[in-house]
Amino acid sequence: MDKVKISKEMMPTKDQGSRHLSQETVNKLILQSQEAKKQAYSPYSKFRVGAAILTFDNRVFTGCNVENACYNLGLCAERNAISKAVSEGYRTFKAIAIASDLNDQFISPCGGCRQFMREFGSNWDVYLSKPDGSCLKMTVDELLPASFGPEDLSMKKVFDIPNEY
Ligand code: THU
């Protein structure tokens, strides 16, 4: 299958313009995150993660975790998918689905990824899934309450900080 085509596929038009997703669309997004998981480069943790993000105009970008011999440089699947979307010009999102190999629990995004999602709004959906396709839906705000975001930076700026040139 052509991977570039999968990751930029258009979703069915019935979901156009609405943040509410049909069950069919949710299932498809989860399947795409499971497909992305297969590309995981996780030789150190052996923990595969995939993500599929749905843009406001119904495009899907996928990502997997990409680890590194310098451990702290590893990249999470969610941040990979978000960065792919943003670098192609898409910044408004309806939902992201996350997949792992954990059979008994819904994969939960790490704190860094929650903050990365929050950069693009608090009111959009995150589908935490299991390999059987079942999922738990949470908003970014539920995952990261009382968050700090881009709007907060504009509240107070100090232009004449003492001891800074
Ligand atoms: N990982 C993700 O990709 N997303 C998450 O939300 C949780 C953790 C990755 C990072 C690392 O490659 C591996 O899973 C183990 O932590």
Query: Is residue 160 one of the residues assigned to a domain?
Result: no
What mean pLDDT comes out for the span 132-161?
91
> What integer pLDDT is reported at residue 158 of this predicted model?
75
CA of 76 to the centre of ligand 1 (A): 5
CA of 69 to the centre of ligand 1 (A): 15
CA distances from 49 to 34, 77, 150 (A): 8, 6, 27
Between CA 17 and CA 14, with CA 116 as vertex, the angle to 5 degrees is 15
> What is the C-alpha separation between 77 and 17, in angstroms, rounded?
26
DSSP label at residue 76: -
* pTM of the predicted model over 0.85: yes
83 half-sphere exposure, CB direction, 13 A CA radius: 10
Total tally of structural domains belonging to the chain: 1
Whether 78 sits among the annotated catalytic residues: the reply is: yes
Res. 144 pLDDT band, cuts 50 70 90: very high
Report whether residue 78 contacts ligand 1, using a CB cutoff of 6 Å. Answer: yes
Structure tokens at 87: 């670098």
Report whether residue 65 contacts ligand 1, using a CB cutoff of 6 Å. Answer: yes
What mean pLDDT comes out for the span 104-125?
98
Res. 13 pLDDT band, cuts 50 70 90: very low
pLDDT tens for each residue of 111-120 = 999 999 999 9
Query: Is residue 142 one of the residues assigned to a domain?
Result: yes
Catalytic pick among 35, 78, 88, 142: 78
Q: Is the pLDDT of residue 16 over 70?
A: no
> What is the C-alpha separation between 50 and 98, in angstroms, rounded?
6
Query: Is residue 161 one of the residues assigned to a domain?
Result: no
> What is the C-alpha separation between 6 and 9, in angstroms, rounded?
5
Q: Please list, in sequence order, all residues whose beta carbon lies within 8 angstroms of the beta carbon of residue 10, skipping any fewer than 6 positions away.
A: 58, 59
Query: Is residue 164 one of the residues assigned to a domain?
Result: no
Query: Is residue 162 one of the residues assigned to a domain?
Result: no
Contact 48, 37 (CB under 8 A): yes
Which residue puts its alpha carbon closest to atom 1 of ligand 1?
76
Query: Is residue 119 one of the residues assigned to a domain?
Result: yes
Range of the domain at 76: 2-154
Report whether residue 109 contacts ligand 1, using a CB cutoff of 6 Å. Answer: yes
CATH number at residue 100: 3.40.140.10
Query: Is residue 126 one of the residues assigned to a domain?
Result: yes
Query: Is residue 13 one of the residues assigned to a domain?
Result: yes
